[in-house]
């Protein structure tokens, strides 16, 4: 009998998280660490925790997830990142849903811990990620190399039990990730033919702050929500600054 469900962890230099992540999904029929060029003890620790390790050269995240779908033989694939954790309650829900067979893919909510605080508003909940896929019914949009988009056969379902995501443990990590997202998102705007008109440098950050703090109820996260809303507004400004640099280089 083939493998019903495999948990797949994309990983590079994740020695601080990999074993706890593997342990959280050891209820799956198989756990695979899909590794790409780790220079730390990720591979050694993954083997010690009982996971299979496969290696694949990294091009982009969409390609990496497609490569995992091709390489890991199982009817269902649960993608989980090294800084995420599953739970027994989520395991039971997933087993029940795939047994029912009503959908070929499922959105999974996440509880995001940012700077050590559970963030229930400000745009970080429910933070659905489509990570549970019937392997032969899903591929990834090759044009979305970051913030991957699943191309699913049929309508997806929704889980209620979340991943726990230890997201942005430090401000330095937050800053570095946002810097990369700023560059990526600015390139998308440029490819769409959008030009940074002068008023956008004021209106877009203000709108983004209002969206996060008011519309997405960031105020309910207190000072933490205020800080995050201001930071994300700042990076919205940086996105348009980077777009201006890109357009000037045309």
Over range 193-220, report the average pLDDT: 96
Q: Which two tokens stand for residue 41?
A: 């003890």
Say if residue 15's pLDDT is above 90. yes
Q: The tokens 């995992």 sit on which residue?
A: 68
DSSP string for residues in 85-143? E--HHHHHHHHHHHHHT--SEEEE-EEEEETTEE--STT-SS--EEEEEEGGGEEE-TT
* pLDDT tier at 2, thresholds 50, 70, 90: confident
CA pseudo-torsion sign 188, 189, 193, 195: negative
Q: How confident is the model at residue 250 (pLDDT cuts 50, 70, 90)?
A: low
pLDDT for residue 152: 98
> Are 58 and 37 within 8 A, CB to CB?
yes
Average pLDDT over the chain, rounded to whole?
95
Residue 1: its pLDDT value, please?
52
- Pair type for strands 129-134 and 76-79: antiparallel
Q: Which helix (H) or strand (E) holds 174?
A: helix 171-191
Give the tens place of pLDDT for each residue, 105-161.
999 999 999 999 999 999 999 999 999 999 999 999 998 877 889 999 999 999 999
Residue 91 CA to chain centroid, in angstroms? 19
* pLDDT tens-digit map of 32-81: 999 999 999 999 999 999 999 999 999 989 999 999 999 999 999 999 99
Identify the pLDDT of residue 193.
92
Q: What domains sit in the chain, N to C, each tagged with a CATH number?
A: 5-167 (3.90.550.10), 171-248 (no CATH)
User: pLDDT at position 246, please?
Assistant: 93
Indicate whether 227 pLDDT > 60.
yes
What is the percent of the chain where pLDDT is above 90? 91
Question: Residue range 226-241: average pLDDT?
Answer: 97
Hey, CA dihedral for 203, 206, 210, 212, is it positive or negative?
A: positive
pTM: 0.91
Mean pLDDT of 167-188: 92
Q: How far is CA 11 from CA 40, 88, 146, 160, 165, in A?
A: 11, 23, 15, 26, 15
């Amino acid at each position: 009998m083939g493998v019903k469900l495999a948990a797949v962890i994309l990983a590079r230099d994740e020695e601080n998280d990999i074993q706890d992540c593997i342990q959280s999904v050891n209820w799956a029929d198989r756990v695979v660490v899909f590794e790409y060029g780790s220079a730390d003890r990720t591979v050694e620790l993954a083997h010690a925790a009982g996971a299979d390790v496969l290696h694949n050269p990294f091009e982009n995240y969409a390609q990496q997830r497609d490569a995992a779908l091709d390489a890991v033989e199982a009817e269902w694939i649960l993608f989980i990142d090294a800084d995420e954790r599953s739970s027994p309650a989520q395991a039971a829900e997933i087993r029940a849903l795939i047994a029912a067979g009503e959908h070929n893919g499922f959105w999974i909510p996440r509880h995001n811990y940012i700077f050590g605080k559970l963030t229930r508003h400000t745009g970080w909940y429910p933070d659905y990620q489509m990570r549970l896929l019937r392997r032969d019914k899903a591929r990834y949009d090759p044009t979305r190399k970051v913030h991957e988009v699943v191309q699913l056969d049929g309508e997806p379902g929704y889980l209620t039990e979340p991943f726990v995501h230890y997201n942005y443990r430090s401000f330095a990590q937050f800053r570095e990730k946002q810097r990369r997202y700023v560059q990526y998102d600015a390139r998308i705007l440029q490819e769409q033919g959008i030009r940074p008109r002068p008023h956008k440098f004021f209106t877009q950050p203000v709108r983004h702050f209002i969206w996060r703090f008011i519309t997405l109820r960031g105020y309910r996260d207190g000072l933490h929500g205020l800080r995050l809303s201001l930071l994300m507004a700042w990076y919205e400004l940086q996105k348009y600054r980077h777009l201006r640099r890109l357009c000037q280089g045309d």
